[in-house]
Amino acid sequence: MIAVPAMTILLGMNERKSHATAIFIILPLTLASTFIYVKGNHIDWNVTWKVAVGGIAGGYAGARLLSICPEKVLRKVFGVFIIAAAIKMLV
């Protein structure tokens, strides 16, 4: 939630590239965490497979939408998401 606005405001990147870069940054972090959790036997594999299928489908759909979504709409959708996340954290 911080990476996209930071890259947009502080680094002057456009929002589309900021979103794509933030998602790409998550990959090595996820791989490192996965290794540690698998090694520690902290994974519920029944849930993992179900969530992974939804995540892959959602990731594909999101990447496709990101490439065709106008930047103005992207900014508004991301803003609504950030506000919803903030409210969820407060409640």
Q: Domain ranges in the chain? A: 3-90
pLDDT tens digits, one per residue of 66-78: 888 888 888 898 8
Integer-rounded Cα Rg, in Å, for the chain is 16
Length of the chain: 91
Whether pLDDT at 40 is above 90: yes
pTM assigned to the model: 0.55
- Round to whole Å and give the CA distance between 40 and 24: 25
